[in-house]
Every structure is written in structure tokens, then in C-alpha cells.
Amino acid sequence: MKQIIFLTLVILQTTVFSQTKTITGTYQFIFEGSNGSFGEKIILHPDGTFNIHSFKKLDGSNPPETNIFGKGTWKLDKKMVHFTTIETDFDSKFTLDLNHTQARFNTKSSRDTNKREVPTTLKVIKSEIPWLIGRTLKKQ
């Protein structure tokens, strides 16, 4: 009986960590126009934490460059990534609040036998930050 319980726990733990390993990494969105660029970069760490950097570099604007940083924790629930931040995540550098932000994790299905390239992405579906809604970030 102990062996069955041990085997079940090992299989369950392997399954949980294998899903986390596929989603962790750096996701980025960059738009470059004629007068500058803007975008976001989200790093999902294997320990369940994240960092985000939102930047804007526009010629002729005041200030010419804006950088906003944030950090917190993330949790994967099926194909949805839920971001949360708590009071201790904020300081003078990290001011971006991703509470109540949800993104959909998209990747090529293991059953898809086509040779086409399908990028791994995060698409922000729900957020209190208006410019993030609908943003698709590709995994680097």
C-alpha cells in the first residue's frame, strides 16, 4: 500500500513540474514604429514568481523613455495564467500592479503532427491595466 501511494505521489509531482517547466521563460512583445517603440517583457520563473518590464521609447515625447517594472507570483490553472501581486512586491522600482490579470497560455498541441511552426505565446485576456488587454507575448 505504501508503495502505491509513493508511486502515485511521484507521478503527480512529475506531471505538475513538467507543466510548469514548459510555461516558464521569457515572453516579449515589441512594436517598432517610425517614431519609436514600445512593448512588454514578462519573465516567468520556475518558482512561481514573475517580473514584468513595460517600456516606451518615443522620439519627441517628454520624457523620451518610460520604464515601468513589476513583480509578483503566477499560477497556472489549465491553460490560464493568473498573476497576483501583494504589498511587499511594491517599492520605488516595482510599481506595476498585475493583480486580477489573466493570460491564456498557447502552445502547439502534442497531438499536432503538422510540421508548421506554432509559437508559444501568452495572450492577456483580463487586466486592470488597459494597454495590456489583448496583448500577445511570444516566448523567446
User: 13-33, pLDDT tens digit by residue?
Assistant: 544 444 455 889 999 999 998
Count CB neighbours of 124 within 10 A: 23
* Cβ(24)–Cβ(134) below 8 Å: no
pLDDT band at 86 (very low <50, low <70, confident <90, very high): very high
pLDDT of 49 > 80? The answer is yes
pLDDT band at 113 (very low <50, low <70, confident <90, very high): confident
Q: Given this model, what pLDDT does residue 17 score?
A: 46
In 3D, which of 106, 88, 109 has the Cα closest to residue 97?
Answer: 88
pLDDT band at 135 (very low <50, low <70, confident <90, very high): very high
pTM confidence score: 0.77
Average pLDDT over residues 95-116: 85
Average pLDDT over residues 84-93: 91
CA distances, 74 to each of 26, 41, 49, 95 (Å)? 14, 15, 6, 17
pLDDT band at 58 (very low <50, low <70, confident <90, very high): confident
Q: Given this model, what pLDDT does residue 74 score?
A: 96
pLDDT band at 106 (very low <50, low <70, confident <90, very high): confident
User: 65-77, pLDDT tens digit by residue?
Assistant: 899 999 999 999 9
Domain architecture of the chain: domains with CATH? 2-139 (2.40.128)
Which grid coordinates are listed for 57?
A: 521609447
Q: Which of helix, strand or coil describes residue 105?
A: strand
